[in-house]
Structure 1
Amino acid sequence: MRRRNAGFTLIEAVAAAAVISILAGIALPALQDAGEAARSGAAKGTLFDSWMSSVAHAANTGVEVVLCPGDANGCRDGIDWTHGWIAYADLDGNRTRSPDETLLKQAEPLGGKVHLRSTTGRTRMVFQPNGGNAGSNITWTLCDGRGPEAATTIVVANNGRLRTGTPTAAAAQACMAAM
């Protein structure tokens, strides 16, 4: 009686490799989309946290708070918040962070292909002690590697109320473009 060798035949190995390739081709894009959705959700949560902290600090201390794209050194000009943002108590009211002004929040740069852009011309928000913000409404467009159809907006009205929505096709597409 002959004993058969244990193992796979070449045909079995090729069939298994084909099945694994097909499953990977299906699963990998879904995993990438899930990662982008998670990073986008984290960015939205961090922005909400910064907004709430800014409103609370302004109301509790009677001092205006500035929220802007930037880092501990101060604000950056422009509408791209992708590289992080800060919130600070603007003690002297000049909209420029001085070393003696309290840094309330510092958001790190966004990961993956997540982008956050504000309304053209709105490079910062100033929260007043009454909870509102100075100037006009501000709309952020948040997009990621899932494409413009997954983009969302975050709108803050002058009275401080916050809501989310869907951007126009042009705003969603502009959000996806490199700055």
Structure 2
Amino acid sequence: MNPRDYLEILHVAERLKDTPRHCTTTKQRTESVAEHSWRISLMAFLLRHEFPDIDINRVVDMCLIHDLGECFTGDIPTFIKSDADREVEDSLLIQWVRSLPEKLSGDFADLYKEMDAQETKEAKLYKALDKLEALIQHNESPLDTWSENEFELNKTYAFDTVAFSSWLTELREAVLEDTMRKIESES
């Protein structure tokens, strides 16, 4: 890859720094997609000793690229994102990935295929962390920033996604404890 191609990729990815997410931070600042991607990457890195049979570097790669489609469409919260929204995002992302240098394009395509199939332990861990991070962020944000449906979502969301791992199930239960404590103390 030549330096110009490298810079162009970085310029596209930089858009995520200015792409707001539905979540807010502890201080009520709207979180960016880049911040979310960074934190799930950190979450994966921190689990390397909990999941020694999983290629954590591959999981980190998935976490880093998982929301690049939002460079083109912005973030649409999962509970309102339609199939049509997904199709547009996927189409624009695929078009961009195909425009990358050949080897890199193949790397991206392989990761996205694995992530979409949700068959490997790595893909399942990435997906679980993606969902768990949103729940954790909601617990860190002030309750008055939650939309009405999030009170129920924070109680039920992602239990199915973490079910493949007893450790992640325990983590999800701890997140639920935090949710319940938050709702009780701030309501």
Higher relative contact order (CA 8 A, sep 6+): 2
Q: Which has the larger radius of gyration?
A: 1
Q: TM-score with structure 2 length normalisation?
A: 0.26
TM norm structure 1? 0.27
